[in-house]
Amino acid sequence: MITIAAPREPEPETRVALVPETVMALTRAGHRVLIETAAGIAAGHSDEDYRKAGADVVDGIPLAEVSILTHVTPLPASAISRLGEGAVTIGLMAPFTDERIAALTAARVTALACEKIPRTSRAQAMDVLSSQALAAGYRCVLEAAIRLPRFFPLAMTAAGTVPPAKVVVLGIGVAGLQAIATAKRLGATVAANDIRPSSAEEARSVGATFIDVGLDSAEGTGKGGYARSLGADAASRQQQALAPHIADADVLITTAGVPGKAAPRLATSDMIAAMRPGSVVVDMLAASGGNVEGSVAGSDVQLPSARGQGHITIVGLDTPPAQLAADASRLYAKNMQNMINLLIVDNEVQVDFDDDILAGAAITHQGSSRLEEPSPASTPPKGDAQ
């Protein structure tokens, strides 16, 4: 019998790697599932819910007995060292520090890092980055809407007409597309920019107008369909072209990332100060260097407006999917279930490196690091982000 487990995540994380629905599917398939006491409380699942789904709820996971350990936040070295040789761990693991890799190789476990899952059509069902970015992009808009002293939609009433809010979204990846779609659903007008050539069409497909900043497609295109860091000259041209759009917006939402790099700086304090008093900026990447100068992860910062009395609020998000613990966990758990299904063949755990998803995700195996292996993720992503 294969033993699969999910721990209680350390605070302030609110998500859980397995939810009762996925536990039920796993136990019905004949596997033993261990859930740590209170692991699902913040995501809305009691210990009793897990027991009803067939899990054993335990005070501490007996890590040496576990074949597959699912988790959300990277495991501490103290937990890694208690895993049995050959165990498989699946979860978010970045940053890939030397200490983390050393702990995983010393324990001789196979570590599957969700950040390394290839962005291919086949891998979409396991794509944690996408499922969590969906939650993050949605959250960005709600954070802005609740702080903006204005409506998002057009309102034509007997008491007068209220124009729709103007929203600018920078970064049109999975989170940015979800932010655009959410702002549109709330009735705002949305303009967006990204440096990947395909992003203009993707933005239009969810109802935004595209802000063309006049870059060559080669300037923004990196490996595997991701963006690359812009050179100083291109970055400054982009800022100049974006400045009037940002100044005219009621809301700026930034979701721009470059894998393995600090978040690109898209808006300076001067660009933000040029917005009207009362405007709101949400920086989804505040914890990774920040797209917006002056943003602080987990805090609101007030910047005086250069256009009159009053200020602009800069909201720095910190792990935004954790603010939607129930649905972010539901999606995360389904990603875990699909990864587990890939691993189990004839009722045995088999890590088959002919499978591009497992080969791409594995960062350690049998006591060695695989970080330097050429990643299947470097092939261009097929299909749309959504």
Instruction: Enumerate the active-site residues.
Output: 119, 124, 127, 130, 226
Q: Give min distance, CB of 258 to ligand NAD, in A.
A: 5
Containing 252, the helix (H) or strand (E) segment is strand 251-254
Cβ(31)–Cβ(3) under 8 Å? yes
Minimum gap (Å) between residue 135 Cβ and ligand NAD: 13
- Per CB under 6 A, 203 contacts ligand NAD: no
What's the closest the beta carbon of residue 62 comes to ligand NAD, in angstroms? 36
On the 0-12 / 13-18 / 19+ scale of CB atoms within 10 A, 225 is middle
**Count, residues near ligand NAD per rule CB under 6 A:** 35
**CA pair distance 294, 247, nearest whole angstrom:** 17
- Using CA atoms, how far apart are residues 51 and 49, in angstroms rounded to an integer? 6
Please pick, from the candidates 9, 127, 143, 283, the single residue that binds ligand NAD as defined by CB under 6 A.
127
Q: Is 316 in the site for ligand NAD (CB under 6 A)?
A: no
Query: Could you tell me the CA-to-CA distances from 110 to 94, 103, 104, 337, 360 in Å, in that order?
Result: 15, 11, 8, 17, 12
Roughly what angle, to the nearest 10 degrees, separates helices 20-28 and 325-343? 20
Give per-residue burial for 141-158: e unless 16+ CB within 10 Å, then b: bbbbbebbebbbeeeeee
Q: With contacts defined by CB under 6 A, name the span among 94-102, 119-127, 143-151, 351-359 that binds ligand NAD.
A: 119-127
Q: Closest approach of Cβ 317 to ligand NAD, in Å?
A: 13
Does position 114 interact with ligand NAD (CB under 6 A)? The reply is no
Query: Contact between 111 and ligand NAD (CB under 6 A)?
Result: no
Q: Which stretch binds ligand NAD (CB under 6 A): 23-31, 88-96, 254-262, 365-373?
A: 254-262
297 exposure class (CB count in 10 Å sphere: 0-12, 13-18, 19+): middle
SS3 154: coil
The residue among 104 and 195 lying less far from ligand NAD, judged by its C-beta, is 195
CB atoms within 10 A of CB 300: 14
- Residue nearest to ligand NAD according to CB distances in the complex: 173
Binding residue for ligand NAD (CB under 6 A) from 124, 182, 279, 313? Answer: 124
Does residue 230 bind ligand NAD (CB under 6 A)?
yes
User: What is the binding site for ligand NAD (CB under 6 A)?
Assistant: 119-121, 124, 127, 129-130, 133, 170-176, 193-196, 199, 225-227, 230, 255-259, 264, 266, 381-383, 385
